[in-house]
Amino acid sequence: MAGPPAQGVTTHCPYCSLQCAMTLTPREDGAGPVLEVTGAAFPTNRGGLCEKGLSSAELLAHPDRLTTPLVRDARDEPFRAAGWDEALHRIADGLTVAQERHGPDAAGLFGGGGMTNEKAYQAGKFARVALRSASIDYNGRFCMSSAAAAATRAFGIDRGMPFPLADLARADTVLLVGSNPADVMPPAMRWFAEGRERGAQHVVVDPRRTATAAASDVHLQPVPGTDLALANGLLHLAVRHRLVDTAYIAERTTGWPALRRAVRQYWPDRVERITGVPVPAMERAIRVLAASRATMILSGRGAEQHAKGSDTALAWINLALALGLPGRPHAGWATMTGQGNGQGGREHGLKADQLPGYRRLADPAARAHVAGVWGVDPEELPAPGVSAYEMLDRLGTAGGVRALLVMASNVAVSAPHAAHVRERLQSLDFLAVTDIFLSETAELADVVLPTTQWAEENGTMTNVEGRVLRRRRATDAPDGPRSDLTVLADLAGRLGRGTFDDDPRTVFEELRRASAGGTADYAGVTWERIDAEDGVFWPCPSTDHDGTPRLFADGFATPDGRARFHVVHHRDAAELPDDEYPYRLTTGRSRAHYQSGTQTRRTKALLDAEPEPAVEVHPDLAARLGVGEGGDLLLRTRRGSARLRAHLTTDVRPDTVFAPFHWAGEQTINDLTNPALDPVSRMPEFKVCAVALEAAGQREGSR
């Protein structure tokens, strides 16, 4: 490899899907060479970065960084440093032995949405070609899978945002349902602010008065898990007040008469009883939404991470279609994908049922095309496998995975019912993890491989808008870590299943061919074009095609070009409060920390900003519990318990508490969450379960 570039290199942030552009400039500080991070001009962040992006380079030379493979011969032994050959041999052997004993699907791969397109593509190919296993899925299943399933059913395509982020500033009305960009994508708030300066109105649906809600014009504060009823209630009002766009419905949609009949049941008083949102607030919201056709409905995890998340997303899409929004300028429905490459991960094969280009693994024509690119017989490709939580739940059991490779995910902290997942991981015959640090998942492994980081790599990422971007190498990796691409190529060789390339550019060229003709068509995207054009929006079927910043102006991606309404009905959350567990727990993010916290819990600037988690409790509820600001609260659900400090705030509903999931140990909030799954998307119910609360120190039952 050539030495590190002496000049600043412009790349994108390692964290969320906004993928802010940043320049990394080598600089000497007292202790040695470091990279200085500055925001770079780009159409999405316009030079802005949040504190996570700004502090991201701290992790490049972090003392905790893994620099050598770790192995152990028994789980009760400590790790010892090992050479790459021994570690990779152990992994190939672990995977092979499991397959010999229990069949091909007994070896599995669990991936992450932080992986580049090239890594995601190669991991998908590795599972299907090198392992011939159906057992592959990824943490994106826990993220936007409900919205993806809904968009595919309604529009025939799942691209998180069907328009560029900058269009937000041109909308007259924006509704955000279960999305808190003020904390999770701070630089994106500039677009909202610009809209507001033009007089735009913002409506937020969130059980908490978040920073995003505080800045809005209308805040609806429903009981967690009732968004579907709220959307149907708003549609009921739109019909009653003749606010629906009948011409648009006639020209561009199918299924309206049945839906129109179905929402008759959602009269305002009933919806108020279900959701806790007062009728006048609903009336105000629908008037604001229907005041202009330049209205956007944006969905986040708050609406989607439910056992009815895909139906809930469909309910909001129904409302958007009835108001005539999708395909109109500065209007429509979108989901805000979360991880750096959550979008690309689901397009290129990390998902159990997908092949590159958003092709379906169950589709014979898709199998034939991709098998052709891979040089294998379509018959050899496995069938679709099970979803992320189902795979984790069955680890080590008959018919389940016995040897697992985890890449770029920390499921021991981030999966629902996490104590059970950790127990399943420990029951495996063999576990290997590739990571930058010894994550809580890596701590359970037989073999851990150190991986290179974003600033040390080339590749592509697909951001929240569907814009394909370039990740550019700005510095050399330390001696020791290797790229996931190199690991996959080496393992494929050891398994005797063909030659896998580890050069990201070569892999991208293959990805272009594999995606050609698919829904997420990257055939016309080249690294040169990305550099020259500030990214390229898919679909982009040929090099002379401009790419597609905006979808749906002329039609939807369905066979008849029309969008589909779906009749969807409210149902209760999988778990409701009762005498034993009287409150609701919802979970999500805080501003300074990222995901399972592997990275941000090691970043000094972020720990200074937020040294520990807190559970948000309404003062009325806190008084009843006898807990004060900063006091310890014990949270218990049917699955487990956690102990967190209480933060008293009137921003949260008095019947609900909120806690972040970024922490481990006795602050692992996912030890409490409910793994009830959505029947279509297989999304777990992260956003609501029943919880008992007690001031810590008090005995159980003394409530």
Ligand X SMILES: Nc1nc2c(c(=O)[nH]1)N[C@H]1C(S)=C(S)[C@@H](COP(=O)(O)OP(=O)(O)OC[C@H]3O[C@@H](n4cnc5c(=O)[nH]c(N)nc54)[C@H](O)[C@@H]3O)O[C@H]1N2
Task: Enumerate binding residues for ligand SF4 (CB under 6 A).
Answer: 13, 15-16, 18-20, 45, 49-50, 52-53, 185-187
Cβ 452 to ligand X shortest distance, Å: 8
Q: Which is nearer to ligand SF4, 562 or 591 (CB)?
A: 591
| Contact region with ligand X (CB under 6 A), list: 327-335, 436-444, 605-613, 638-646 | 436-444
Residue 663 near ligand X by CB under 6 A: no
Cβ 397 to ligand X shortest distance, Å: 22
Number of residues binding to ligand X, judged by CB under 6 A = 62
Q: Which tokens sit at 630?
A: 């900063």
Cβ 15 to ligand SF4 shortest distance, Å: 3
Q: Which residues pair with 295 in a beta bridge?
A: 173
DSSP output for 595-629: TTSTTGGG-HHHHHH-SS-EEEE-HHHHHHHT--T
CA gap 511, 514 in Å, rounded: 5
Chosen residue from 183, 217, 390, 443 binding ligand X by CB under 6 A: 183
Q: Which residues pair with 536 in a beta bridge?
A: 468
Cβ 143 to Mo ion shortest distance, Å: 3
Report how far Cα 451 is from the mean position of its chain's Cα atoms.
Answer: 21
Chosen residue from 451, 458, 463, 674 binding ligand X by CB under 6 A: 451
Helix (H, G, I), strand (E, B) or coil at 50: coil
Number of residues binding to Mo ion, judged by CB under 5 A = 2
Angle, alpha carbons 393-678-254 (nearest 5°) = 150
Residue 603 near ligand X by CB under 6 A: no
Task: Lay out the site mask for ligand X across 528-547 (x = CB under 6 A, - = otherwise).
Answer: --------------------
Angle, alpha carbons 372-375-378 (nearest 5°) = 60
Q: Which is nearer to ligand X, 208 or 564 (CB)?
A: 208
Q: Which is nearer to ligand SF4, 105 or 457 (CB)?
A: 457
Helix (H, G, I), strand (E, B) or coil at 643: strand
Residue 339 near ligand X by CB under 6 A: yes
CA gap 453, 59 in Å, rounded: 9
Q: Which is nearer to ligand SF4, 393 or 456 (CB)?
A: 456
DSSP state of 444: G
Residue 442 near Mo ion by CB under 5 A: no
Residue 592 near Mo ion by CB under 5 A: no
Q: Which residues pair with 111 in a beta bridge?
A: 138
Residue nearest to ligand SF4 (CB): 53
Q: Which residues pair with 634 in a beta bridge?
A: 643, 694
| Site for Mo ion, residues 129 to 158, rule: CB under 5 A | 143
Q: Which tokens sit at 687?
A: 């956003």
Cβ 545 to ligand SF4 shortest distance, Å: 27
Helix (H, G, I), strand (E, B) or coil at 438: coil
Cβ 185 to ligand SF4 shortest distance, Å: 5
Residue 68 near ligand X by CB under 6 A: no
Q: Which tokens sit at 90?
A: 């152990």
Residue 586 near ligand X by CB under 6 A: yes
DSSP state of 129: I
Give the C-alpha distances (Å, rounded to integers) separating 156 from 524, 561, 687: 21, 9, 27
Residue 177 near Mo ion by CB under 5 A: no
Q: Which helix (H) or strand (E) holds 646?
A: strand 641-648
CA gap 140, 149 in Å, rounded: 12
Burial 40-53 (b: 16+ CB within 10 A, else e): bebebbeebbbbbb
Give the C-alpha distances (Å, rounded to integers) separating 324 from 372, 605, 656: 42, 45, 35
Q: Are 468 and 536 in contact (CB under 8 A)?
A: yes
State the binding partner of 588 from ligand SF4, ligand X, Mo ion, none, CB within 5 to 8 A by kind.
Answer: ligand X
Chosen residue from 10, 598, 637, 681 binding ligand X by CB under 6 A: 598
Residue 355 near Mo ion by CB under 5 A: no
State the binding partner of 463 from Mo ion, ligand X, ligand SF4, none, CB within 5 to 8 A by kind.
Answer: none
Scanning 107-244, the segments in alpha helix (DSSP H) are: 117-125, 145-155, 181-184, 189-197, 211-214, 227-240
Cβ 589 to ligand SF4 shortest distance, Å: 11
Cβ 508 to ligand X shortest distance, Å: 16
State the binding partner of 440 from ligand SF4, ligand X, Mo ion, none, CB within 5 to 8 A by kind.
Answer: none
CA gap 303, 225 in Å, rounded: 7
| Site for Mo ion, residues 323 to 342, rule: CB under 5 A | 338
Q: Which is nearer to Mo ion, 338 or 459 (CB)?
A: 338
Residue 687 near ligand X by CB under 6 A: yes
Question: Which of 425, 421, 418 has its CA nearest to residue 444?
Answer: 425
State the binding partner of 161 from ligand X, Mo ion, ligand SF4, none, CB within 5 to 8 A by kind.
Answer: none
Q: Are 3 and 27 in contact (CB under 8 A)?
A: no
CA gap 404, 393 in Å, rounded: 13
Q: Which is nearer to ligand SF4, 157 or 336 (CB)?
A: 336
State the binding partner of 13 from ligand SF4, ligand X, Mo ion, none, CB within 5 to 8 A by kind.
Answer: ligand SF4
Residue 668 near ligand X by CB under 6 A: no
Q: 484-494 and 84-102 are packed helices; what angle lies between their axes, rounded to 10 degrees?
A: 60
Residue 56 near ligand X by CB under 6 A: no
Q: Which tokens sit at 217?
A: 């014009």
Residue for token digits 């549609």?
235
CA gap 109, 345 in Å, rounded: 14
Chosen residue from 8, 11, 12, 16 binding ligand X by CB under 6 A: 16
Question: Which of 126, 138, 135 has its CA nearest to residue 103?
Answer: 135
Cβ 185 to Mo ion shortest distance, Å: 12
Q: Are 108 and 135 in contact (CB under 8 A)?
A: yes
Task: Lay out the site mask for ligand X across 214-253 (x = CB under 6 A, - = otherwise).
Answer: ----------xx-x--------------------------
| Site for ligand X, residues 126 to 155, rule: CB under 6 A | 139, 142-143
Q: Which is nearer to Mo ion, 338 or 660 (CB)?
A: 338
Q: Which is nearer to ligand SF4, 354 or 463 (CB)?
A: 463
Q: Which is nearer to ligand SF4, 165 or 289 (CB)?
A: 165
CA gap 380, 611 in Å, rounded: 50
Q: Which is nearer to Mo ion, 345 or 613 (CB)?
A: 345
Cβ 378 to ligand SF4 shortest distance, Å: 39
Question: Which of 507, 446, 450, 502 has its CA nearest to residue 92?
Answer: 446
Residues near ligand X (CB under 6 A): 16, 112-115, 139, 142-143, 177-180, 183-185, 205-208, 210, 224-225, 227, 300-303, 305, 338-339, 407-410, 413-414, 434-437, 439, 451, 484, 586-589, 591, 593-596, 598-599, 658, 661, 669-670, 673, 686-688
Residues near Mo ion (CB under 5 A): 143, 338
